[in-house]
Structure 1
Amino acid sequence: MVAVEKNLNPPKGIALVILAFLGFSIMSAFIKLCSNTGLDIHEIMFFQNLIALIIVLPWVFHGKKVSLKPQYPLLVFGRVITGLISMYFYFVAIKFVPLVDATLLQNTTPIFIPIIAFFVFRKKITLKMWTVMIVGFIGVTMVLHPGKGAVNPGDLIALLSGFFSGLSTVIIKLLDDKNESEKLIIFWFLAFTTISMGIWALADWTTPVGNAWLYLIGAGVFMALFQLLLIFAVKYASTTTISPFIYLSVVFSGFIDWIVWNQIPTLLTVFGATVVIASAIISALHHTKHNIPVHHK
C-alpha cells in the first residue's frame, strides 16, 4: 500500500497507526478473556469476524463501486488462508502465554520476510540482513526462556503466527503490484474466516453467556477498528514513517498484562523484546526501501 502524495500528513498517520495497534492490543485482550470463559477458539473467531464484517461492510460499499470478484483469485485465497492461519495461531497462543510474549513473537514478521522474499522474489539476502535476522532470533530465544526447561508450546505457536503473517504480507505485496482492491481483500478475509470458523465451531458449539458476549463484541469491534485505522494511517504517512510505531503493540500488551492479569515481564523478556523490536524495525525500514509492505494483519 502506498500513500497518495497529496494526502500526506505524517503526524496524522502516526497518530492513526498508534491508535490502530492500541486497538489490536485491546482486541487481543478480549480474545484472551473469551478463551478464559471456556469458549472454543473457532467459535470466538466466528463471532469476532462476523461482528467485524458487519462493521466494515459500510466502508466496503462506500464511495466508488468495488467489484467483489477477485482478478487474481488464487492470490486472494492465499492471502486469506495465510492470514487466517496467522490469526488462529496467535489466538491459540494468547490462551497459554502472557499477552506481551505472544504479541512480541507474532510481530517477528519483518524478520521472516527476507527469507520469504528470497524464495518468492529471488531477492538476495544481504550480509546486513543476515546479521539483523540472526540478532533478532537471538532476542526471540531470550523471550522463550530456554534455560528454564521445556519451551512453552504457546510461544512456538506465536512464532509460527509471525511466520504466516510474513507469508500473508508478501502475498499482499503481489496483490498490491497487480492493483487488487484492498476493500476486496479485507472483505474476503473477514467473510471466509466467518464462514469457515462458523462451520468448524458447530462441532463443539457452546452458546456464550454473561460476560462472554461483551468480550466477543469487544473483540469484533476492535478488530474492525484496527483494520480501518491501519488503512487510513497509510493514506497519510509512508510505511517507512509508521512502521516503527507498530511495535508499540508490545508495550500496550505489557500494560494490559500488568493491569488485567497482574503479569510483569522478566528482565530477560524485556531485554529480548528490545533486541527483537530493534531488529524488526531495521528489517522493516529495509523492506520499505525495496517497496515491500512490512506488516499487515
Structure 2
Amino acid sequence: MQGSKLLLKKGIVMTIAYAFVLSITALAAKQAQTMISLSSLVFWQSLFCALILLPQMRGRWKRRSFSVWKIHFLRSVGGFTGFLFYYWSLNHIPLVEASLLRTCAPLCVPFVVLILHRIKIPKSRWLPLIIGFVGVAFVIHPTPNHLNPWHLVGLLSALGLAFSMVTTRMLSQQVSGRETLFVYFFISTLLSLPLVFIQGGSMLLPAKAWPVVLAVSITLYLGMYLYNKAYSYAPASIVSPVSYIGVVFSGFWGVVIWGHVPDVYAVLGMLFIFMSILISTKIARDRG
C-alpha cells in the first residue's frame, strides 16, 4: 500500500513537471515563429529529437509487421498535424486559449475510436462530451459578429493529438515507447521537409533562432519523457485531470509576457472542459 502511494505521488509530480515543461515549449515555439517559418520550426524540432533518440535505439530494432508500421504512420501523422495546428494557432490567439483547445483531445478520442475501430460511443460518455463541447463553445464563443477561425485551427490540434493518443495506446502493447517516439519524430521530419519549401522558408536557421529552437526541441523531448514516466507511475484517471494544470501555466505566461488576461468566456470554458475531464476519468476508473 505504501509503495502504491509513493508511485502515485511520483506520477502526480511527473505530470505537473511535464505540463510545466510543455508550457515552456509552447512559449518558445511562439517566440521562434517570429524568426523562422512554422514548417522550419517543426522540421528542426523533429530532427533534433530524432537525433537525441537515435543512439538510444541502437541494438533495439526488431522486425515489425506491416500492420504495426501502419499504426506507426497514423500515430506520426496525428502527432505531426497536432503540433502543426497548435503552433499555427499560437500566432493568432492567446497562448492560454490555444493550450485550452489542445487539452480537448480526450473529448475527441471517442470519435477517433469510432473511426478507427467502429466502436460506438457508449451512452455514459455523452454527458461529459456535451459538457466539454459546451466549454469549447465558450472559448470560441461564435456570434454573427465574432468567429475567429484560428480557434477552429486550435481545435484541430486536439483532433490530431487524439489520433496520436489512440494509436499510441495501440502501439504500447507491441513496441517500446522509445521506438514510438523515434519513429514519430523521424516521420515528422520527413513530412515537414516539403512544407519548408512550399512556405518559401529556408533550411538554414539564423544565428539568433538557434537558442530558441534548441529550447523548443529540448523541452519537447524532456516533456515527452516526463509524460511517459507519469503514465508509468500513475493511471490515466489521475494523470489526465492533473495535466490540466498546463493550461494554468500557459495562462501565467500569457499574462506575464503578452498581457493576455483570459476573459469570462475563456474562464467558463476552462471550468466546463475540466469538469468534463473529471467526469470522463471517473467513468473510466469505475469501469476499470
Return the TM-score normalized by structure 2.
Answer: 0.89
Partner of 1:34: 32
Aligned mates of 1:95, 1:44 — CA distance in 2: 13
RMSD of aligned alpha carbons: 2.3
* Residue 15 (structure 2) pairs with residue 21 (structure 1): no
- Report how far residue 157 of structure 1 moved: 0.6
Aligned-pair identity (%): 26
Aligned mates of 1:104, 1:287 — CA distance in 2: 22
Please give the per-residue CA displacement for 1:197-225, whole angstroms capped at 9, x wherever unaligned.
23431452344335422211111111111
Please point out which of 108, 121, 124 is paired with 1:125: 121
Aligned mates of 2:63, 2:248 — CA distance in 1: 39
Partner of 1:255: 252
Partner of 1:186: 181
Alignment of 1:68-107 (within 5 A): 69-71=63-65, 72-107=68-103
Amino acid in the other structure paired with 1:67:
W
Please point out which of 47, 52, 68 is paired with 1:50: 47
Structure 2, unaligned runs of 5 or more: none
Partner of 1:200: 195
Contact 2:131 2:275 in 1 (8 A): no
Amino acid in the other structure paired with 1:12:
K
Alignment partner of 1:66: what SS?
coil
Contact 2:171 2:180 in 1 (8 A): no
- Report how far residue 158 of structure 1 moved: 0.8
Contact 2:94 2:254 in 1 (8 A): yes
Partner of 1:274: 271
Amino acid in the other structure paired with 2:196:
A
Contact 2:40 2:201 in 1 (8 A): yes
Contact 2:240 2:277 in 1 (8 A): no
- Report how far residue 247 of structure 1 moved: 0.8
- Report how far residue 254 of structure 1 moved: 0.2
Aligned mates of 1:194, 1:115 — CA distance in 2: 27
Alignment partner of 1:146: what SS?
coil
Contact 2:82 2:160 in 1 (8 A): yes
Alignment of 1:148-159 (within 5 A): 149-159=145-155
Contact 1:80 1:189 in 2 (8 A): yes
Contact 1:42 1:200 in 2 (8 A): yes
Aligned mates of 2:158, 2:103 — CA distance in 1: 6
Amino acid in the other structure paired with 1:251:
V
Alignment partner of 2:91: what SS?
helix
Please give the per-residue CA displacement for 1:61-87, whole angstroms capped at 9, x wherever unaligned.
4xxx42165431111111111111111
Contact 1:7 1:236 in 2 (8 A): no
Q: 1:284 to 1:7 in 2, by over 3 A?
A: closer
Amino acid in the other structure paired with 1:219:
V
Please, which moves more after superposition, 151-160 or 189-198? 189-198
Partner of 2:61: 67
Structure 1, unaligned runs of 5 or more: 292-297
Contact 2:53 2:178 in 1 (8 A): no
Aligned mates of 1:87, 1:97 — CA distance in 2: 15
- Report how far residue 285 of structure 1 moved: 4.3
Please, which moves more after superposition, 99-108 or 235-244? 235-244
Paired residues, what number?
282
Aligned mates of 1:182, 1:91 — CA distance in 2: 24
Alignment partner of 1:186: what SS?
helix
Aligned mates of 1:194, 1:290 — CA distance in 2: 39
Alignment partner of 2:205: what SS?
coil
Aligned mates of 1:15, 1:135 — CA distance in 2: 28
* Residue 208 (structure 2) pairs with residue 214 (structure 1): no
Amino acid in the other structure paired with 1:25:
S
